[in-house]
Chain A
């Protein structure tokens, strides 16, 4: 206080210094409204016992959380989600990176190819899923037809039902849709790598592989980390494609965390139980994001 007085402050000065807070106030309010309030509401509901039949708003302690640990179907869904993320993410990364490297070279019709490649990412995921359902159709789908031509006889694969085919079908659709996203961001990062560093390394005698791993990769690492994080979070919430193709079926074979939560929340109306799932997922992902962002910070 004495400082403010000594510097001949008064209200004008005080307002001046606080003005920045005033400016971010609307954003903070909106954030509270759409971010924090639902989060707290979920937390509250998860400690109650609300479902289609009952609406018991009294405190039930960890009732719903206990159920989380005993529900085998939930753990199966989590396992599906984790494995799918671990498989799809590296594939998208490798394909995206290779495509981006390809596009670094000046090629004829680059703009046209770019525009075409971005289409999958622009399409609504549920539409993409529906499209792939047609593609994979066992009678009229072009995929079986093409495989049939290659095999020389009709191929009777029922992609979205048959064991051993249903996950790959989802994987293909997911990679098809999201690799371009990876590609686009990596292309932007790669285009920004200082060309003279690469040239200096060439003259220094480094092989292309060495140049990639020692010069290019470190330079795109921050973008790479962010892209991987975004895609990992997306994959962990995998819903649309699965829903459009299999709705988690056959049975629960392709159920992911998100489709499971959807079924519990909006088909079984297990509101409190679903809230508990959502809360745990949010907490877990928040921890992952914070840790990941801290790593990115260090890398920079």
Chain B
């Protein structure tokens, strides 16, 4: 187990400033997911921790020891690569045993450990095979087996599931999470997939252009994003952003759209943005926080909105209905049978307790 601390980390590739000053403290045993769009520097960050890339500036500490000048082999870490990086000319057994042999473990110990890892990952049958004879999922298991067999103090995952098909990805995701629960090791996991990030992480570190945009527990980030980027990156479908103005009405505040529609803010939300009354804002609302108005009446904080649906996308359990609001296509997630087809006029309820209001200038949440 290991505690990892990065401070003031910078990395350049020629003219490209890939990592631009990262400070990060990862406690022992935590599952940290570094997530961000491609090119945000997340893989570079991971490779720097692994020692495969040299940091230009800043310190990498593992268990209080600065490891900047240590070779990867001396950092006592394990890493799972995106393309698995299995050794093609060795059997699965030899692949998993490679690190142990390199570290001169006694033979019986090697056999025991490889067997244990194989059983844990359900690849005992495959031990005598070569990587090319395995399916994608099995290869991934071997790669994980190679990582866990050495009992390293820190596990690094570099987009390990991105080469798998959707179903297998879900399976392996669950297995990696179980692995973390069983082993209790510190793990750093890099992905561009926000679903993977949400489901796996104890803590998400959202990276953008080489800087940390926001970090915290998955639900924290999801429910309390600090910027438009975070709000838009997490969640599927992407959060709707609609230009509006904030105006005073009946002693409270309301969000007013260009066509004149208004959505009143509940008093609890209004408090925080009172000083903004009269200025332009961006309303951020998730598809699942809108529902079809029914006869049961409204509860506190639900604001009615009359719309004309122009696109319907059923997914089976839910249906996505798209409509136009202030010249912006907005998508609402409705019950499967709530909507009949395009052209339908309906009343929606917007959960105003769950919306975010952003400053359109800075794209920061108000």
Beta-carbon contacts of A202-214 to B below 8 Å, as 1s and 0s?
Answer: 1111110010001
A204 pairs with B89, CB closer than 8 A:
no
Q: What's the least CB distance linking A80 to chain B, in Å?
A: 38
Inter-chain CA distance A86–B246, complex, in Å, is 87
Does A194 belong to the interface (CB within 8 Å)? yes
Does B85 belong to the interface (CB within 8 Å)? yes
CB contacts (< 8 Å) of B150 on chain A: these are 204-205
Inter-chain CA distance A201–B101, complex, in Å, is 11
Task: Please give me the residue from chain B that is nearest to A197 by CB atom.
Answer: B85
A219 pairs with B89, CB closer than 8 A:
yes
Task: Please give me the residue from chain B that is nearest to A217 by CB atom.
Answer: B89
A204 pairs with B98, CB closer than 8 A:
yes
**Chain B interface residue count: which class?**
20 to 34
**Chain A interface residue count: which class?**
10 to 19
Beta-carbon contacts of A182-214 to B below 8 Å, as 1s and 0s?
Answer: 000000000000101101111111110010001
Does A250 belong to the interface (CB within 8 Å)? no
Interface of A: prevailing SS = helix
Does A130 belong to the interface (CB within 8 Å)? no
Within 8 A of B (CB), among A208-228: 210, 214-215, 218-219
Chain A interface: which of B73-81, B217-225, B316-324?
B73-81
Q: In the complex where A199-B52, A201-B87 touch, is A207 in contact with B102 (Cβ < 8 A)?
A: yes
A202 pairs with B89, CB closer than 8 A:
no
A204 pairs with B99, CB closer than 8 A:
yes
Question: In the complex, which of the residues B52, B103, B146 contacts A202, with contact meaning CB atoms closer than 8 Å?
Answer: B52
Interface of B: prevailing SS = loop
CB contacts (< 8 Å) of B86 on chain A: these are 197
Question: In the complex, which of the residues A194, A197, A204, A214 contacts B73, with contact meaning CB atoms closer than 8 Å?
Answer: A204
Inter-chain CA distance A215–B51, complex, in Å, is 19
Question: In the complex, which of the residues B52, B71, B146 contacts A204, with contact meaning CB atoms closer than 8 Å?
Answer: B146
Does B360 belong to the interface (CB within 8 Å)? no
B102 pairs with A199, CB closer than 8 A:
no
Does B297 belong to the interface (CB within 8 Å)? no
Does B64 belong to the interface (CB within 8 Å)? no
Beta-carbon contacts of B42-55 to A below 8 Å, as 1s and 0s?
Answer: 00000000111000
Beta-carbon contacts of B134-150 to A below 8 Å, as 1s and 0s?
Answer: 00000000000010001
Other 14 A-B pairs with CB < 8 A, given A199-B72, A199-B79: A196-B82, A197-B88, A199-B52, A200-B79, A202-B51, A203-B75, A204-B98, A204-B99, A206-B99, A207-B73, A214-B87, A218-B89, A219-B88, A219-B89
A–B Cβ pairs within 8 angstroms, 7 of them: A199-B85, A200-B146, A201-B102, A206-B73, A206-B98, A210-B102, A214-B90
Which 5 pairs of residues, A with B, have the shortest CB-CB distance? Answer: A204-B99, A196-B85, A218-B89, A200-B85, A206-B102
